[in-house]
Structure 1
Amino acid sequence: MSTPKTWLHEFPLDPAICYLNHAAVAPWPQRAADAVTRFAQENALQGARDYPRWSKLEKHLRDQLRHLLNAPSPDDIALVKNTSEALSFVAQGIDWQPGDEIITSNQEFPSNRIPWEALESQGVTLKQVALDAADPEQALIDAMTARTRLLTISSVQYASGLRMDLARLGAACRARGVLFCVDAIQSLGALPFDVQKIDCDFAMADGHKWLLGPEGLGVFYCREAVRDQLRLTQHGWHMVQAMGDYDRQQWMPASSARRFEAGSPNTLAQHALSASLELLLEVGMTDVETLLQERVGYLIDQLHRLEGIQLLSPARPERRAGIVTFAIADTDHGRLHRELMQTGVIGAQRGGGIRWSPHFYTAQSTLDQALRQLEKLITGANS
């Protein structure tokens, strides 16, 4: 296992830590940090003199995201604050009727649960389907009824790392006239993602995980054919068709997905995220997936060698992404997580165990160091 030398300089992480937490908040590549430094210096010395250039970067960022999502057009891309905001645009935008039903899983992160639960007062039912069956997609499909308006699912489950067959779900939704919404935060930047192939109506993700960007900026894909079906819940100068014509009294929402962007853009985060996406696009998402799968496979193989380890994540390559979650019998995983953090192993406590999430650039030496620290703690606890 190796990291291409071309990218090594992009991640000058402290050698004392093993960073395995990209499923939570990722470190920035050097080029993103440099972009923010340049932007801050420009602001300090010149203010917004070159704002037109910032607007060009915003346009470029939309096209980068269009490419990563394989959206038909940059007009399908909205730049949002986070995944929760985008999910709320969908949840609050649909004209729900009493008795309508939403299908989801019982493993969703709160961002993909709470916006739908908030519709209960409108008579909308959220049906949470267990994914522990041999065929989780079929379980979701079988849960659909004549009242089902929408299926919302994470592309990869945040705790277990279960990777869903989105194309199969998209085909089932289209055949039944059901809207299809995908929370892509745990796959965009880790795996190739194709909104046209999976035939989804909505997809959203934050920039601060696998996309290696900052918090406070995410992407919302909205299929053109359903864009007018979402009632707008936020309004401002940036979401109108004639943006920049400040004297115009009559206005209409932008025909593009920019209609979901009410006010001033997060120009600082745009500079950072664009630089990070530039790196991912240079590597290529096919190679990112290959390199990440090598690292996840290595972790799984090595964890199986340790006594008492129970793998909670799927082992089959087609069912996994970048998340490896494991447990140890009769172990206080909160305490184990704290002890690992103290040794410099940066992960998370999720799903009843410890979650590790490397990225394509993570060195084998980093994985080996984390495994050694884990083995020491297990051995010490059993001695």
Structure 2
Amino acid sequence: MQGDGSAYFLYHSIGQYPGKAQDLAQAMAGFAASWAAPDDLQWGYALGKRQGFIDRWRDLIGAAEGTLTTTENVTAALYAVIGALPAGHLAGRTLLVAGDCFPSLHFLLAGLAPRFGFTLKTVPLRPGAHWVQDEDVIAAWGPDVALALLTWVSSISSHRSDISALVAHGRAQGSLIGVDVTQAVGLLPFDVNAPAVDFAVSTSLKWMCGTPGAGMLYVAPALIAASQPEFRGWFSQPNPFSWDLDKFAYAPDIRRYDNGTPSVMSAVMSLPAMDWHAAQDKPALLAHTQRLGERLMQAMEGLDVTFATPRAKDQRGGSVMVKLPPEKPAAPIIVSLRAQGIAADARDQLMRFSPGNMTTDDGVNRLIAALEQAIGSR
């Protein structure tokens, strides 16, 4: 059964908005017409769309011109930053990350630790907890930490970290600080200058409603100036068409983080979603999502579940996540919801529900009724 978006609860995964299919089709058709034309205008069109995508991201997170570029995903973005740090910056020191970070980033860091000579310190979840406590991150964060990667909102709990408090502590330790903003950017306001962070990474999925492969990397001007990315190419230069093999030079801005010919398709495909988002009333979108999330949490208090999400709305992102008991497998429940036109997902026994701009009160009512039937009360 195909839903109309009124019972769509997957904004933590792939966001939707009215007219998305038509916008995507039009963007693809426009690219096809340009790329197939027997002229020399293709790259001007494609790179112009890419720049439009970059500019939308800059406006969204307060990034200055020349500080943000495209990347395939958050893992690639983090690898680019690690490989660009001054030689020896990480050697013999600590890289700090929380145990509820996006797993792909931890996989990368664990593999890079021996090569770059840093110790990867992972702040664990307390026994029985569903997210890492900010105070535990601070307790583990000393002057030995060369770089800390913060998760703004966790994908397994929707817990929202107190970025201001964490950054203030990190500055006192002399650490570089990066933030993965993927799980809440576009829903909650975020500014790379308040507090100032050294880099930020994200995709354009989820609340931004974009497409796969449309990642972004922001790097603060001071860190750009100190960076020499090892993954470099002709687009890393001030003039990509300078092909003198003995005179490579890094661009003075974020372009030094580019490398070979940039992939533009994901930016072209995501730009309509970015344009749609830019035209929305952001406080209204947030209020709508929070109101529906609160209704859902209140209704689920009597169900046979354990909340994996903070109860206070100022401590969470836009998702409501619950843990099912072992005797009630999540997979068949998700299948049942799908058959009723309700879109949600699960990670093992963790069920995730994220209402968004197209989700309605009726959709929440349908989800609640379906969960009451499938799960039952305590």
TM-score, normalization by structure 2: 0.88
Which residue number corresponds to residue 59 of structure 2? 67
Q: Is the 8 Å Cα contact of residues 325 and 350 (structure 1) preserved in structure 2?
A: no
Q: Do the aligned partners of 2:9 and 2:344 also contact (CA within 8 Å) in 1?
A: yes
- SS of 1:78 mapped into structure 2: strand
Matched, 1:156 2:168: no
- 1:77-118 per-position Cα deviation (integer Å, ceiling 9, x unaligned): 011111110111123333344431111111112122122212
Deviations along 1:348-380, whole A, 9 cap, x unmatched? 21374201122233222222222222222225x
Q: Work out the CA distance in 2 between the residues paired with 1:338 and 1:115.
A: 32
On the 8 A contact 1:106/1:131 being kept in 2, the answer is yes
Decide whether the 8 Å contact of 2:6 with 2:358 is kept in 1.
Answer: no
Deviations 1:100-144 (A, max 9, x none): 111111111212212221233143211121355899222211111
| CA–CA distance in structure 2, aligned partners of residues 174 and 344 of structure 1 | 48
Would the alpha carbon gap of residues 41 and 302 (structure 1) be closer, same or farther in structure 2, given more than 3 Å must change? farther
Tell me the residue number matched to 1:201: 198
42-51 vs 213-222, which moves further: 42-51
The equivalent residue for 2:118 is 124
Q: Show the 5 A alignment for 1:80-119.
A: 80-94=71-85, 95-119=88-112
1:369 aligns to 2:366 (yes or no): yes
2:263 and 2:5 mapped to 1: Cα distance?
33
Instruction: Select 2:70's aligned residue among 71, 79, 95.
Output: 79
Residues 33 and 210 (structure 1), Cα distance of their counterparts in 2 relative to 1, 3 Å cut: farther
**Partner deviation per Cα, 1:197-220 (whole Å, 9 max, x = no partner):** 022101000112221111011110
Distance in 2, matches of 1:135 and 1:86, equals: 23
2: CA distance, partners of 1:105 / 1:350: 19
Q: Secondary structure at the match of 1:102?
A: strand
- Residue pair 1:159, 1:351 contacting (<8 A) in 2 also: no
* Alignment check: 8 A CA contact 2:204 2:212 kept: yes
Task: Give 1:261 deviation, angstroms.
Answer: 1.6
Structure 1 Cα separation of the partners of residues 204 and 162 of structure 2: 23
Q: Give 1:90's aligned amino acid.
A: V
Deviations 1:161-200 (A, max 9, x none): 1011111111111122111111111011121111100221
Question: Using the alignment, how far apart are the partners of 1:141 and 1:239 within structure 2?
Answer: 36
Q: Residue in 2 aligned with 1:232?
A: 229
Shift of 1:47: 6.9
Mapped pair 1:317 → 2:313: yes
Confirm whether residue 40 of structure 1 aligns to residue 32 of structure 2: yes
Q: In 2, distance between residues paired with 1:108 and 1:61? A: 26
Separation (CA, whole Å) in 2 of partners of 1:195 and 1:81: 20
Deviations along 1:209-242, one digit per CA (max 9) or x if unpaired, are: 2211110111100001011433412122222111
User: What CA distance in whole angstroms lies between the structure 1 residues aligned with 2:84 and 2:67?
Assistant: 16
Check whether the contact 2:324–2:351 (CA below 8 A) recurs between aligned residues. Answer: no
Q: Secondary structure at the match of 1:104?
A: strand
Percent of aligned pairs sharing the same letter? 23
1:32/1:271 contact within 8 Å kept? no
**3-state SS, counterpart of residue 206 of structure 2:** coil
Counterpart-to-counterpart distance in 1, 2:170 and 2:151? 15
Q: 2:172 aligned to 153, 172, 175, which one? A: 175
Counterpart for residue 18 of structure 1: 7
Give structure 1 stretches of 5+ with no counterpart.
Answer: 1-12
For residues 237 and 89 of structure 2, what CA distance do their matches in structure 1 show?
25
* Secondary structure of 1:354's aligned partner: strand
Matches within 5 A, 1:214-229: 214-229=211-226
Stretches of structure 2 that go unaligned for 5 or more consecutive residues are none
User: In angstroms, what is the RMSD of aligned CA positions?
Assistant: 2.6
1:15–1:46 CA distance, 2 compared to 1 (3 A) = farther
Deviates more, 1:225-234 or 1:49-58: 49-58
| Equivalent position SS for 2:373 | helix
8 Å contact kept, 2:235–2:260: yes
Single out whichever of 122-131 and 222-231 deviates more from structure 2.
Answer: 122-131
Q: 1:189 aligns with which of 164, 186, 193?
A: 186
Q: Distance in 2 between matches of 1:351 and 1:156?
A: 20
